[in-house]
Chain A
Amino acid sequence: MALQTAGNSEQMSEWQGSLDELKGLVSERAITGETMLLNMGPHHPSTHGVLRLLLELDGEEVVSCLPDVGYLHTGIEKTIESKSYEKGVTLTDRIDYLSPMSNNMAYCMAVEKLVGLEVPKRAQIMRVICMELTRINSHLVWLGTHAIDMGAMSVLLYAFRERERVLQMFEMLSGQRLMGSYIRPGGVWRDFPEAFLPALESFLEYFPPRIDEYERLLTNNPLWIDRTQGVGVIEPEKALAWGMTGPSLRGSGVAWDLRKSMPYSSYDEFDFNVPVGEHGDVYDRFYIRILELRESVKILKQAIQKLPAKGPFRSEDRKFVPPPRSELGQSMEAVIHHFKLWTEGFSAPDQEVYSAIESPRGEVGVYIHGTGGNKPRRVHFKTPSFMHISAMPLMSQGHLIADLVAIIGSVDIVLGDCDR
């Protein structure tokens, strides 16, 4: 019966608009019919989700490209307004589903800034470990899908083999493979389980040779070089003007990494390089992410050394962080705090804060406006994918459709991140 009520699909698929709506967005030649208008997406195997592009084509050459976003708009920002500050963390996981821990971190940092909550040293290093593992995790998905878009089918299988080990570690931490919500305001949810650090150490032994393996498959592969070098070039000034961040910006030669330029969570104590590209093309953006995988391994090794053996994994300010279970049977005060925090949550002042971190994709910023009560008035996420999609028409002008697929892959967009 559901089939009948949904209406005739033939009618639904017919375009009701007129070409005049496109005036000013596409060239005059498209209106006269000299160039072709082609709809790419939202269901397209290589758009990394539900991106829709309206392409104006002269033969196979892209004259203009109009991105249409919003197919994954889930109203997360509005939903967070009806949640207490701690409950909001679960929704941030689902914004950029390839790097959930980075989103947790950006949100928690903003909340901590709003209420003035200190994070213990050990928790900061634990957060660094989580974020760098997330970076590896996200870059591996990007590597596999980017290569598969360009016809290198096998890389995905290699990348997901390693990714599976990272996910197993996330599962140890939080009980969930992807959406752990492990980072919470004031620290992290619980201490590392015993098996975690040995698993991490063995992964760090195992992983660098695997990066060599990816490089053997792609870096010097003549087909790969032909498809990527000189494609989708964006100059540093333009990249900055369009608000690009992360590896996509560094590919153009701008050494801007928030971990270095505005350190947070003890990143200033780590010794690592920020790989910078030269040409701003697809190949440079690819190679920078490969180098970042190596840098992440470096940071993780240092983090294991730096991790204090003892110390709290979460702030002990009981006005913001619930007491551990063991205290509940002994202290009436702990019971009250527990009850207050899990029913009402904590209150934050009527102020605005903005804080940003370097996610695998670029700068993720969170703006929170408190109300004085237990729920925020407004939460806004500044997400890198949106900027990168905006800059894509610029990068794709004059290229072939096949190159456009390479460009989409190289800026590493996640539509959940863009549309929220």
Chain B
Amino acid sequence: MGISSKLGNLGVVTTTLDQAINWGRTGAMWPLLFGLACCAIEYMATQASSYDLSRFGMELNRATPRQSDLLIVSGRLTRKMAPVVRQLYDQMADPKWVIAMGDCASCGGVYNNYAVVQGCDEIIPVDVYVAGCPPRPEQLLHGIMTLHEKIKGESIRDWAVRETLKI
């Protein structure tokens, strides 16, 4: 009858709710259109022709944090900029993830001085750290794939617990 007679016996795919949701979350993650310094240039290169981030469903950068899932902190985070980044993170809706791109965002990099926050994990929780000064586009892609792996292991329950306990 109807569509099944045309398509034949397709069978049934069974999955868990977690797997289905995580598949959706990894397949079209929207990064925040946000750059700080040198790493942002490599991030642009990752977006552009040769490395083509849209292979991961990530070609759509949202300029507003309300519509983004992923914050890529690309570059050195200074003390003056830190409250701004924190506010951007707070404005993002759950579920949200953070990649610290490059040495400066991960640990302060070459700047061990008065002006630079020694790693953006001092102000926001970070999921994946990408090393390099600046990291090559391949390294960033690897970081994004590592994040995908992490998300595949997550459960929607984790986010619910986090929401209830406000942590």
On A, residues with C-beta under 8 Å from B are: 1-4, 6, 9, 12-13, 42-45, 49-50, 70-76, 78-79, 90-91, 94, 97-98, 141, 144-145, 156-158, 160-161, 163-164, 167, 177-179, 415-416, 419
Contact between chains at A73 and B115 (CB < 8 Å): yes
Nearest chain B CB to A412's CB is how many angstroms away?
14
User: Helix, strand, loop or mixed for chain A's interface?
Assistant: helix
Which of A13, A43, A73, A416 touches B80 (beta carbons < 8 Å)?
A73
Chain B residues closer than 8 Å to A13, beta-carbon distance:
87
- Is B50's CB within 8 Å of the partner chain A? yes
The distance in angstroms between the C-alpha atoms of A146 and B167, with both chains bound, is 41
Give B84's nearest chain A residue, CB to CB.
A42
The distance in angstroms between the C-alpha atoms of A181 and B90, with both chains bound, is 38
- Is B78's CB within 8 Å of the partner chain A? yes
- Is B38's CB within 8 Å of the partner chain A? yes
Chain B residues closer than 8 Å to A73, beta-carbon distance:
78, 80, 115
Contact between chains at B48 and A50 (CB < 8 Å): no
- Is B88's CB within 8 Å of the partner chain A? yes
Given contacts A79-B111, A156-B48, contact A178 B134 (CB under 8 A): yes
Interface residues on B, range: 35 or more
Contact between chains at B87 and A49 (CB < 8 Å): no
A-B contact pairs, 11 of them (CB 8 A): A2-B123, A3-B166, A12-B83, A42-B81, A44-B63, A74-B76, A75-B115, A75-B116, A178-B38, A178-B42, A179-B134
Contact between chains at A49 and B40 (CB < 8 Å): yes
The distance in angstroms between the C-alpha atoms of A231 and B167, with both chains bound, is 50
Chain B residues closer than 8 Å to A71, beta-carbon distance:
78, 80-81, 84
On B, residues with C-beta under 8 Å from A are: 33-38, 40-42, 44-45, 48-50, 61, 63, 75-76, 78, 80-81, 83-84, 86-88, 90, 110-116, 121, 123-125, 133-134, 136, 166-167
Q: Can you add 16 more A-B contacts, CB < 8 Å, to A163-B45, A178-B42, A179-B133?
A: A9-B87, A9-B90, A12-B87, A42-B81, A44-B63, A50-B81, A50-B84, A74-B116, A75-B111, A78-B114, A91-B110, A97-B37, A145-B44, A158-B49, A164-B50, A178-B41
Which of B42, B86, B112, B113 touches A177 (beta carbons < 8 Å)?
B42
Chain A residues closer than 8 Å to B111, beta-carbon distance:
74-76, 79
Contact between chains at A144 and B81 (CB < 8 Å): no
Nearest chain A CB to B112's CB is how many angstroms away?
8
Contact between chains at A70 and B80 (CB < 8 Å): yes
